[in-house]
Amino acid sequence: MIDRVSTYEHTLHWLYQQLPMYQRVGAQAYKADLEKTWALVQYLNDPHRSLRTIHVAGTNGKGSTSHMLASILQEAGYRVGLYTSPHLKDFRERIRINGEMIPKDIVTDFVCTHQEFFQSHQLSFFEMTVGLALQYFKDQEIDIAVIEVGMGGRLDSTNIISPDLSVITNIGYDHMAFLGTSLSAIAYEKAGIIKPGIPVIIGESLPETRPVFEEVAQKNNAPIIYCGHEEAPYLMDLKGDYQRTNQRTVLSAIEQLNKMDWCIEQEHVKSGLAKVVTNTHLLGRWQKLNENPIIICDTAHNAHGLKITMAQLRGEQYNDLHVVIGFVNDKDLHHVLTLMPKEAYYYFCAPDSPRALPPIELAKAGAQIGLKGEVYSSVELALSAAKMAAGDGDFIYVGGSTFVVAEVL
């Protein structure tokens, strides 16, 4: 049990042991309803009802988009809450105000105060963190919170909020065991964040997804805004090619916010996009870890995201390419591996997660399509071997899973 003298580390250990956590155990933590989340916020006296929010969903880019929005709003002088998932290094990355992580003592106090409720209602890890974020943002009297969906949208625990604006970045194949096996089915789950009368920004749409968005928006009398394909005009400190698409989504969102009672000038947009990492401390998005040899890590982990990331990788200049790669066990492995460059040498590994795909299975699947490399029991050993093998002018890419990236930061 957690009491007032418990340490932050003790609190986290208790949380990880007592509450199902999708990031660690996968499917068994998933809850396909909002009943317990509604019970939690009612118990907490409805902190979400006093918050103005932006709700962000999508297969890829929702984390970067959320951080961009938070950075711009922060530059505009607002006190901005930011709730995202998963975390890479520290649980408190999930909950920030103006870039600063929630204090450890507030996490411990929250769990200590409410653990009896958590246990009696068998809340999931994610349900608890949503409650913590909403309560913290209310107590700190923020101006606005950017809330990233955990998975899907319709049945995600964040979907109890009534935002000023909803944003859906894109639709691709991921988490199909939960969200459906077709793009239209996945789009329906994401479109679940569309609320009556609330504008929704659609970053990218496809012939299979656009009718779904139109139908749900029409039923909710919600204005729907599709982003165009014009150039992203602002320089960013986020260097992934995919960030240009995210920028267009963000600019459409800012335009809509300015039609409300928010005041965000062009200079705020420019400085906010130039300082996303500085303002929000976002990690793992085409992040450079070393100069020579160049080492880049990226959290792209599904076919939709890896297709763009691998295209950028092929455009880089290098002598030899080394790829440190690991996946969790719920991916369409053949599909994602066909996207990987065949000229690279691979360091197949497994992150420290119960969901990790055994590296020997990964290597066998890679060999079937012509990927050559060696098997390593850990990310650390794999990266160490890649560094030993790489010479001047070589390039090392680390990715495949957020868990892999977390271990090299």
Name the pairing type of β-strands 294-297 and 287-291.
antiparallel
Predicted TM-score (pTM) of the model is 0.94
Whole-number Cα distances in Å, 126 to 30, 152, 211: 9, 13, 31
Whole-angstrom distance between the N-terminal and C-terminal Cα of the chain? 32
Q: What's the pLDDT tens digit per position in 173-218?
A: 765 566 777 999 999 999 999 999 999 999 999 999 999 999 999 9
The residue assigned the tokens 């909002």 is 34
Q: Give residue 25's pLDDT band: very low, low, confident or very high (50, 70, 90).
A: very low
Residues 6+ apart with CB under 8 A from 35: none
Q: What is the pLDDT of residue 32?
A: 67
- For residue 238, give the nearest of 288, 204, 202 by alpha carbon: 288
Residue predicted with more confidence, 119 or 196: 196
- pLDDT > 90: what percent of the chain? 85
Mean pLDDT of the chain: 93
Q: What is the pLDDT of residue 330?
A: 78
d(CA 6, CA 107): 11
d(CA 82, CA 241): 24
Residue 47 carries which DSSP code? G
**Domains defined for the chain, CATH in brackets:** 8-280 (3.40.1190.10), 287-406 (3.90.190.20)
**Average pLDDT value for residue range 293-317:** 95
The residue assigned the tokens 């907490």 is 44
d(CA 283, CA 24): 19
d(CA 202, CA 207): 13
Cβ neighbour number for residue 235 with a 10 Å cutoff? 9
Residues 6+ apart with CB under 8 A from 259: none
CB 249 within 8 A of CB 65: yes
